[in-house]
């Protein structure tokens, strides 16, 4: 089989040698505790992951070790790559670099297994899981509940047509209220910055006019997720972060978590979550395992199935053929001549959780490709051209 990952002017063996050499050189400047990390060998940090070698789970270690050279070719701003197979952590690599973390100054940062990273809109997928848990606990009757039922205090800002919008419409980004966040952040017509600057972002969202009937127009909307997060807060009578810690993070053994808030103190359900990449990979494993973690049903299996069922063609974002479920993305990669389906959580700047059910595989990346025209393509390149082809069995 032709080696698709070699530099055109070098042999595969030389690329591997350069990769290992680059990894060795990086080790001299790595944070304490990482200097002995050999080509993606996971660190032992007692966070609940079972650690194994790639070869023991049917993956080619040498193939994975071409990662550094691959990234060097493309001059990407990737900060981490974490790979899980058969429920075991088999590969992790961290890279220092520029970042724009929420609430901290822009600049150069070191990254390691024990350092949190912005998840950005991966937060939306996590919020969806929390909605599923709230429904399972009978705090919400179901996805066909009308949204305005939960916001009687905002009756005065209600626009015509809002009575028809349900929780399901918010989950699938098909509510039809007018929203545009595809513009530059500084564009006054971009609705997303209003979630940060408005003293009452919920009021701003609920006052938006209706542009189309529900279920007829897919529009990516952080405002939809903010309403979902606040519904969970209202029915659980606690902050979204507190509910998430008790209902989701604690069962997964995720203890080092932060969920940033807007200026009015409301948790930013659409974009504020900060996790260690290894913990974000647990979210992927949870979905892959139909809501189970270590034998415990954390999220109902039926909710996972509903969430990752394609419901709309996602138009105009991230490129490629993408479908959208309940705040989760669905797509596919071409590895060799084989088409591989995956489920994803996407965050601005290159934050990605990929779940590949057919290969029993999870891959998580963090990056700082904020505002770049090809934002996030490094992650799909790593998945399609390194991680998936490294799998040499069909189990």
CB 356 within 8 A of CB 342: yes
Q: What is the pLDDT of residue 302?
A: 98
Q: Does 323 reside within a domain?
A: yes
CB 224 within 8 A of CB 121: no
| Mean pLDDT calculated for residue range 20-31 | 40
Distance CA(58)–CA(48), nearest Å, equals 22
Q: Does 133 reside within a domain?
A: yes
* Burial state string for 69-102 with b = 16 or more CB within 10 A and e = fewer than 16: bbbeeeebbbbbbbbbbebbbbbbbbbeeebeee
Q: Does 376 reside within a domain?
A: no
Q: Does 181 reside within a domain?
A: yes
Average pLDDT of the chain, as a whole number? 90
Q: How many domains does the chain have?
A: 1
Residues in the chain: 395
CB 169 within 8 A of CB 200: no
Closest CA to 332 of 355, 360, 302, 312: 355
Alpha helices in the chain (DSSP H): 12-27, 61-64, 67-74, 122-136, 167-171, 192-197, 201-206, 222-236, 240-244, 277-288, 301-307, 377-382, 388-390
DSSP for 327-350? S-EEEEEEETTEEEEEEEEEETTT
What is the tens place of the pLDDT at every residue in 161-201?
A: 999 999 999 999 999 999 999 999 899 999 999 999 999 99
What is the tens place of the pLDDT at every residue in 56-113?
A: 999 999 999 999 898 888 767 999 999 999 999 999 999 999 999 999 999 999 999 9
Domain that holds residue 241: 116-332
Q: Does 111 reside within a domain?
A: no
> Alpha carbon of 297 to those of 116, 239, 286, 316: distances in Å?
26, 23, 9, 35
| Mean pLDDT calculated for residue range 117-143 | 98
Which range among 41-45, 130-134, 242-246, 289-293 shows the weakest confidence by mean pLDDT?
41-45
Distance CA(144)–CA(210), nearest Å, equals 19
Q: Does 21 reside within a domain?
A: no
Q: What is the CATH number of the domain that holds 308?
A: 3.40.710.10
Other C-beta atoms closer than 10 Å to the C-beta of 263 total: 11
The answer for residues whose C-beta is within 8 angstroms of residue 68's C-beta and 6 or more apart is 19, 22, 23, 26, 93
Q: Does 9 reside within a domain?
A: no
What is the tens place of the pLDDT at every residue in 244-281?
A: 999 999 999 999 999 999 988 899 999 999 999 999 99
Closest CA to 262 of 189, 215, 192, 184: 192
Q: Does 84 reside within a domain?
A: no
Q: What is the pLDDT of residue 172?
A: 98
């Amino acid at each position: 089989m032709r080696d698709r990952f070699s530099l055109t002017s070098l042999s595969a063996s030389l690329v591997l040698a350069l990769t290992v050499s680059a990894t060795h050189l990086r080790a001299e400047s790595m944070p304490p505790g990482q200097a002995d990390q050999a080509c993606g060998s996971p660190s032992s940090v007692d966070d609940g992951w079972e650690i194994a070698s790639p070869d023991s789970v049917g993956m080619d270690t040498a193939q994975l070790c071409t990662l550094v050279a691959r990234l060097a070719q493309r001059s990407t701003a990737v900060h981490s790559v974490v790979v899980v197979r058969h429920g075991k952590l088999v590969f992790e690599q961290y890279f220092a670099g520029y970042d724009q973390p929420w609430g901290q100054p822009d600049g150069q940062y070191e990254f390691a297994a024990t350092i949190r990273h912005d998840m950005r809109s991966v937060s939306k997928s996590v919020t969806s899981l929390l909605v599923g848990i709230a429904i399972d606990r009978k705090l919400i009757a179901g996805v066909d509940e009308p949204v305005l039922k939960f916001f009687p205090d905002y009756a005065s800002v209600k626009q015509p047509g809002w009575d028809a919008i349900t929780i399901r419409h918010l989950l699938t980004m098909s509510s039809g209220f007018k929203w545009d966040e595809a513009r530059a952040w500084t564009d006054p017509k971009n609705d997303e910055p209003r979630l940060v600057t408005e003293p009452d972002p919920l009021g701003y969202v609920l006052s938006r006019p209706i542009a189309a009937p529900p279920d007829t127009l897919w529009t990516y909307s952080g405002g939809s997720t903010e309403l979902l997060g606040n519904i969970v807060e209202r029915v659980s009578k606690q902050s979204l972060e507190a509910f998430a810690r008790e209902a989701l993070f604690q069962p997964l053994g995720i203890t080092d978590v932060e969920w940033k808030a807007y200026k009015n103190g409301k948790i930013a359900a659409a974009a504020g979550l900060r996790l260690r990449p290894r913990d974000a990979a647990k979210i992927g494993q949870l979905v892959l395992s139909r809501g189970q973690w270590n034998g415990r049903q954390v999220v109902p299996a039926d909710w996972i199935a509903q969430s990752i069922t394609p419901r709309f063609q996602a138009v105009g974002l991230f490129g490629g053929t993408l479908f959208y479920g309940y705040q989760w993305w669905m797509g596919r990669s071409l590895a060799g001549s084989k088409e591989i389906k995956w489920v994803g959580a996407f965050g601005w700047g290159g934050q990605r959780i990929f779940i590949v059910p057919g290969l029993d595989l999870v891959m998580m990346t963090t990056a700082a490709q904020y505002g770049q025209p090809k934002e996030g393509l490094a992650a799909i390149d790593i998945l399609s051209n390194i991680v998936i082809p490294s799998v040499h069995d069909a189990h």
